[in-house]
Amino acid sequence: MSELPEGQVPELQRPRCAYVSKSTGAGCLAYALKDSEFCFYHDQRPETVAKRLKALKKGGKKTNSHDGLVDWPQSPIDSLEGLRNALSRLFNAGAAGELATARLTALASLGNALSKTIEGSAVERRLAELERKVFKETKED
């Protein structure tokens, strides 16, 4: 292996970001910034936050998974109430600029499909209930 100039750390030995996801407990695999224990996406110092927002606006699209959904709780959305809460959270993340537009658009479209599916299951449940009642009544006659 070749000698590195004094003060330089070989790439593989560079410290990783200290961020740990609250929902999954998984650590961030990105390299930490030279002068921080966090990576570019998790460093909360004002100057890094400003740089990040600037990069976000400039790029428009992001090439990695770091965004406002890092701590998104993984839970089934099985009611319109649950969907309403999820959409409300997405709306706020989108309005705050924490989400790439393409991702927000895809999620909005999925939310729309989910809403129809949830409504469909509710109708099916009511129909099954009705059928059961009608069947019971005709049987009793």
Contact range with Zn ion by CB under 5 A, out of 25-33, 50-58, 89-97, 123-131:
25-33
Q: Which of 60, 59, 52, 41 minimizes the C-alpha distance to 101? A: 60
Distance of CA 71 to the CA centre of its chain: 7
Distance of CA 1 to the CA centre of its chain: 41
Mask: binding to Zn ion, 97-136, rule CB under 5 A, as x and -? ----------------------------------------
- What is the total count of residues that contact Zn ion (CB under 5 A)? 6
- By beta-carbon proximity to Zn ion, the closer residue of 52 and 89 is 52
Task: Mention every residue, 6+ apart, whose C-beta is less than 8 A from residue 50.
Answer: none
Q: Is 30 among the residues that bind Zn ion (CB under 5 A)?
A: yes
- Distance of closest approach, residue 28 Cβ to Zn ion, in angstroms: 3
Q: Which of 62, 75, 64 minimizes the C-alpha distance to 28? A: 64
- Distance of closest approach, residue 134 Cβ to Zn ion, in angstroms: 59
- Distance of closest approach, residue 40 Cβ to Zn ion, in angstroms: 8
Q: Is 39 among the residues that bind Zn ion (CB under 5 A)?
A: yes
For Zn ion, which residue of 10, 22, 27, 42 counts as binding (CB under 5 A)? 42
Following DSSP, what letter does each residue of 64-112 receive, concatenated? Answer: SS-STTTT-------SHHHHHHHHHHHHHHHHTT-S-HHHHHHHHHHHH
Residues of this chain that interact with Zn ion (CB under 5 A) are 17, 19, 28, 30, 39, 42
